[in-house]
Amino acid sequence: MALPTYSTMKHHLLPAATYSRLVPRATYHDAATIDEPTIKPQNRSRSAVNIPASLSNLLHLNLNHHTNPTGTHAGSSNNAMLDVENFNRQTPTYSPTEDISSMYSEIHGAADWSRLLSPLHPWLRREILKYGEFAQATYDAFDSNPFSQYGGSCMYGRHRLFEKLGLLRHGYDVTKYLYAMSHVDLPRWLERSLHAEAWSRDSNWMGYVAVSGDEESRRIGCRDIVVSWRGTVVPAEWLEDIQGKLESIKSNDQSDIRVEHGFRSIYTSKAETTRYNKLSASEQVMGEIKRLVKFYQEKGEKVSITITGHSLGGALALLNAYEAASALPSVPVSVISFGAPRVGNEAFADRLKELGVKVLRMVVKQDVVPKMPGILFNEGMKMVEKVTGTLDWVYTHVGVELGLNVKTSPYLKNCIDFAGFHNLEIYLHLVDGYVSSKSGFRCEAKRDVALINKASGMLREEIGIPPCWHQLANRGLVCNPYGRWTMPNRELEDIPSPYREGYEQLLN
């Protein structure tokens, strides 16, 4: 039975009284700008939960809602009347896509997105959301049921992935699945099946490679090769599993470039005794990227590589970008990441810049994961380095940051929920509503707010969407013809098989 997806869910109908508290009347700016109507943050009751001030100050979480002398939120308006009559509850949850080929270079970060971020250009916003949905697909299709024979794999074969998740409208085709293992003990990262005949004891499905079709390639101005890496969801995993140990990016590398030990292990680990990781994730992805680049360049096409991921997936995206840009210097490489941690030291960041890798990081201010590793020892130590010289063991972020804030959305609870702050659907919701750091949430945001509660409970309760609703009916069990409840057999196309993938690779 297919899970509810972004494309198949109908817009949740709310009583007019509920929307009257959520949707203010649009106010429009000068037509010469690309600013869009916004929703100013509204009054909400203060959370009953408090955390130690020292922790919130250390992490710069900004959890307190600042008020002005009248008691309203800074920037809110007591005069914001609500336009319920003109609010159409039957509108599509995404906008029509325009031909953006004229801005191909800028959209891919040629000028570090300098003219597109403040205010956020609507074309760039839609591309960010597209890549974010590619990253979300790695969660929605992941079989995390430990009682399933295929726990830790993708629930769908690659030819059906986008169809099952409602992503065919983006115009991409999945060409390869990626698998990873780790020689470092990261227990919360690896999902293991408890089934006696488990598909794998060592590996997890970690993402996929896709390529834009002809129509989409014409729209965006190039043949876009996308790599999407799966991440982790719960911030506690980072607190317990990240070792914070920097090591050389290659075993025989004599440079000062260092990256986090655990991330590198996931990206490069392999074992001849495994079924899915005889080649490392690095070797799998680079083999497919090189094959696609050669194929389309020989046809005379312009090719780009866009790598995306959330959380751990964002870290793997940077390692992948470093390797891709080093091996294919003539191909532009960009990274669109969400809630990604720091990965390496300043030498790693400098080398990515030298290679021409463009990185756009979406960061929610209240999310703790982007502050790790290196909560204390990070790029903020520039003043110390003026005295000590460059410190190889200090972590630093890479690229351009687009800062988001949960306080801007009128749909979200005023609460402390670290898992919720890190949730990818929260990121996509905030990107959809973002105009600039000085603006409120835009009225024309189209993503269905029900998606926020797929794996969290961050939506305000009066909206009427239950928390964590995205789950298999009956925990995946079905009643067989004999009246017994069992785990269903997968369709042949959806059963992971290294032999089928190898055969399809030969045909390509």
Task: Tell me the C-alpha distance between 369 and 338, whole Å.
Answer: 10
HSE value, Cβ hemisphere, 13 Å, CA-based, for 459: 22
- The verdict on whether 153 is a catalytic residue reads no
Q: For the residues 349-378, what does the mean pLDDT come to?
A: 89
Percentage of residues in the chain with pLDDT exceeding 70? 71
Task: Tell me the C-alpha distance between 223 and 218, whole Å.
Answer: 8
| Res. 186 pLDDT band, cuts 50 70 90 | low
Tell me: the pLDDT tens digits for 96-128?
678 999 999 999 999 999 999 999 999 999 999
Structure tokens at 133: 């949905």
Contact 458, 417 (CB under 8 A): yes
| Res. 185 pLDDT band, cuts 50 70 90 | low
| Res. 199 pLDDT band, cuts 50 70 90 | confident
pLDDT score at 179 = 96
pLDDT score at 75 = 37
Least-confidence region, from 205-209, 221-225, 384-388:
384-388
Catalytic residue among 202, 367, 417, 448: 367
| Res. 176 pLDDT band, cuts 50 70 90 | very high
Contact 248, 397 (CB under 8 A): no
| Res. 83 pLDDT band, cuts 50 70 90 | very low
Most confidently modeled range among 6-10, 39-43, 423-427: 423-427
Is the pLDDT confidence value at 399 over 60? yes
Catalytic residue among 121, 170, 397, 422: 422
Q: Which residue has the higher pLDDT, 37 or 365?
A: 365
Amino acid symbol at 161: L
Q: Which residue has the higher pLDDT, 136 or 39?
A: 136
Is the pLDDT confidence value at 13 over 80? no
Q: For the residues 16-20, what does the mean pLDDT come to?
A: 42
pLDDT score at 425 = 97
Place of tokens 């835009």: 442
Q: Which residue has the higher pLDDT, 83 or 220?
A: 220
Give strand pairing partners of 401: 361
Is the pLDDT confidence value at 259 over 50? yes
Task: Tell me the C-alpha distance between 107 and 111, whole Å.
Answer: 9
Give strand pairing partners of 205: 179
Cis-peptide into 119, omega within 30 deg: yes
Beta strands in 103-218 (DSSP E): 172-180, 204-212
- The verdict on whether 108 is a catalytic residue reads no
pLDDT score at 50 = 41
Q: For the residues 434-440, what does the mean pLDDT come to?
A: 92
Contact 402, 129 (CB under 8 A): no
pLDDT score at 393 = 62
Tell me: the pLDDT tens digits for 142-175?
998 888 899 899 999 999 999 999 999 999 999 9
- The verdict on whether 170 is a catalytic residue reads no
Q: For the residues 345-359, what does the mean pLDDT come to?
A: 96
| Res. 188 pLDDT band, cuts 50 70 90 | low
Least-confidence region, from 71-80, 110-119, 313-322:
71-80
Cα first-last separation, the chain: 31
Q: For the residues 450-479, what does the mean pLDDT come to?
A: 90
pLDDT score at 97 = 77
Catalytic residue among 311, 337, 409, 456: 311
Angle at 313 between CA 311 and CA 316, to 5 degrees: 120
Q: For the residues 68-93, what does the mean pLDDT come to?
A: 39
Q: What is the mean pLDDT of the chain?
A: 80
pLDDT score at 380 = 56
- Reduced to 3 states (helix: H, G, I; strand: E, B; else coil), residue 445 is coil
Give strand pairing partners of 364: 404
